[in-house]
Structure 1
């Protein structure tokens, strides 16, 4: 399974989920009414579309793909992914004219028993996959270990693993408190376990959505915790969240300087900076990713946490 082109998960930024029921997909993504700041989007045919509306949603998607095929792509275009309902639906989508212009697919309800059906499909060389960890299997380390071993065989195809926070809570019969971050309830432990189970093997993970899209201060606090957990891209459900998330991904100037010092060719094996030990041998990976983030989202002063 070969993959052409190179996309970094960090470049996704705030990934906006958009139901395919929208009849303005091209305009909102690429056209004159493009959503400001949009870096990546997922066109959803799954939970956000009722069964009775599915044919209309597929018609809108087919129209978007035809329009994309008829134009020259631009470097300013956002990354576009499709979230099908099933492997059978993805097989149908792969036959649509223009699908080769899509960057990839988000795989719903992904685990070791469901993924082989998707991997068996005739994906285009450029298509990258983002499996979503959102079923009860994500709470079982043994199940996730089996899934990780399966994905290692196709790792160049996997752009990121998306953590489906609301579905994971639904599996436990819970709903997140609207005034707290995801890390202040049971979801926090699950996120930490998924990071520990996948990140050391080279997989990027995406942070779950925050439902309370009108609370910018809480969203900034949650993104700071996402970053601390190594989650450098996040799902968004409202355009207002995009700017907040991507501003929060900007790198504090002092951290950027520290990262440059660690990556310098003449850096000592261990040095102190403002009372903190810096050891390039152990911090080099962090430094490289931080500077990649700075290149994408710029340099900013540290954002204050909620009081």
Structure 2
């Protein structure tokens, strides 16, 4: 899979100096964490879930979360689990084909969840585990798929019920993750991984009242950091649950405001990045919060998108600008830029219309690319300061090295835009492609 793979070859050739590179569910964790991009959530109750996954992949979605938690009612959980197992099973049959080396049914080779739990949370897949199909044959043309559970017990239960179809999964999402509840989730993930032989990643969601409340936040963050460090190789990214954080105070941002305009939320984001987003090798990828809005609601404030960047975009830049405004995407774009400025990468999305904007804005600009390469070249030569290739800023090799490394990793996954290609043109191509 690759970002912007849904665009025609000639369109990609016109837009990209360096095109996005291919990756797969078996790629390294750093690449996958960067590649998550706009992670689209979908309720697991949807009867068309299998078709939805294929349709969204064809539209450029690269990561999806199939949700068993807050997106469905409490009384729907049992039915949602059954639907999820059935839909993924059918999807697996479509992609891998019955009897095409998909691996034995769970349990034939002696892998058991009880045995995996007994081995302890730190165990990797054991010799007796069932070898689930992990080649790209069964995940080709599909997004990275995750299941958001409600409780740790669902992880091992679903892994067993899915059988070989667990080969479609990249991992699980853990809601309301704390230093106390987190250990149970991570131990269950390790057990499922050991029993199935499938590499599975964790994405904990930080959204509990203990993080919102000042008196418990510090202790929680350091406790979570210690816990995640024990399972570092299994943690793909840390996600932020801003809706739940706002809920602790009865707050909700309007479509004209970003998460950073809500002081309480901005403080939590800053502290999470401070502890868990460090660039010294101890940190993790931290993703941007959900944008809750789509069209219909009447606006109170003027749109935040200037006309100028869209003037030369093709097709009709102004038409694209109006479409963005009508879908409240100007607020999303503003928040995404603030996410990046605050150390976040990617974004949680609950509507397909959000995905093109997030991905278009994730493309590395020609200016960023030049700066990043120059900084790393200068750092390898001993450091020092130099004027940027665009002659508009100072590039200091040692302080800017970590930024440059992150930019080049993003360039590998999302590509580098040509010098004369703006984000407006990238958005136009994504929205109209």
TM-score by length of structure 2 reads 0.66
| CA distance in structure 2 between the partners assigned to 1:110 and 1:87 by the alignment | 11
CA RMSD of aligned residues (A): 2.0
Question: Equivalent residue for 1:42?
Answer: 65
The aligned runs of 1:126-275 (5 Å cut-off) are 126-139=199-212, 140-186=217-263, 187-200=265-278, 201-213=282-294, 214-264=327-377, 265-266=380-381, 268-273=383-388, 274-275=391-392
Q: CA deviation at 1:252?
A: 2.0
Give 3-state SS (helix, strand or coil) of 1:212's partner.
coil
My pick for the range that moved more, 225-234 or 155-164, is 225-234
Q: CA deviation at 1:178?
A: 2.4
| CA distance in structure 2 between the partners assigned to 1:53 and 1:283 by the alignment | 49
Shift of the 33–17 alpha-carbon distance from structure 1 to 2, 3 Å rule, reads: closer
Question: Equivalent residue for 2:138?
Answer: 73
| Contact 2:41–2:65 (Cα < 8 Å) also in 1 | yes
My pick for the range that moved more, 14-23 or 242-251, is 242-251
My pick for the range that moved more, 118-127 or 233-242, is 118-127
Shift of the 302–198 alpha-carbon distance from structure 1 to 2, 3 Å rule, reads: farther
- Aligned pair count reads 301
Q: CA deviation at 1:74?
A: 4.2
My pick for the range that moved more, 173-182 or 66-75, is 66-75
My pick for the range that moved more, 49-58 or 8-17, is 49-58
Shift of the 157–91 alpha-carbon distance from structure 1 to 2, 3 Å rule, reads: same
Shift of the 57–191 alpha-carbon distance from structure 1 to 2, 3 Å rule, reads: same
Q: List, as ranges, runs of 4+ consecutive aligned residues in structure 1 with deviation greater than 4 Å.
A: 32-35, 265-268, 300-304
Shift of the 299–217 alpha-carbon distance from structure 1 to 2, 3 Å rule, reads: farther
| Contact 2:155–2:192 (Cα < 8 Å) also in 1 | no
| CA distance in structure 1 between the partners assigned to 2:89 and 2:221 by the alignment | 38
Give 3-state SS (helix, strand or coil) of 1:94's partner.
helix
Question: Equivalent residue for 1:279?
Answer: 396
Shift of the 282–6 alpha-carbon distance from structure 1 to 2, 3 Å rule, reads: same
Higher RCO (CA-CA < 8 Å; seq separation 6+): 2
| Contact 2:34–2:345 (Cα < 8 Å) also in 1 | yes
Q: CA deviation at 1:268?
A: 4.9
My pick for the range that moved more, 123-132 or 159-168, is 123-132
Q: CA deviation at 1:34?
A: 4.3
Shift of the 197–286 alpha-carbon distance from structure 1 to 2, 3 Å rule, reads: same
Alignment partner of 2:38 out of 3, 11, 14:
14
Question: Equivalent residue for 1:29?
Answer: 53
Q: Which runs of 5+ in 2 are unaligned?
A: 1-25, 97-136, 295-326, 425-433
Q: CA deviation at 1:227?
A: 1.0
Q: CA deviation at 1:27?
A: 1.4
Question: Equivalent residue for 2:301?
Answer: none
| CA distance in structure 2 between the partners assigned to 1:9 and 1:254 by the alignment | 23
Tell whether 2:168 aligns with 1:90.
Answer: no
| CA distance in structure 1 between the partners assigned to 2:396 and 2:73 by the alignment | 53
Question: Equivalent residue for 2:415?
Answer: 298
Q: CA deviation at 1:14?
A: 0.1
| Contact 1:210–1:236 (Cα < 8 Å) also in 2 | yes
Q: Which runs of 5+ in 1 are unaligned?
A: none
Give 3-state SS (helix, strand or coil) of 2:71's partner.
coil
For residues 262-303 of structure 1, give each alpha carbon's deviation from its aligned partner in whole angstroms, at most 9, with x where no partner exists. Answer: 122557532122253222222121111112212322334565
| CA distance in structure 2 between the partners assigned to 1:206 and 1:215 by the alignment | 21
Shift of the 33–299 alpha-carbon distance from structure 1 to 2, 3 Å rule, reads: closer
Greater Cα radius of gyration, structure 1 or 2: 2
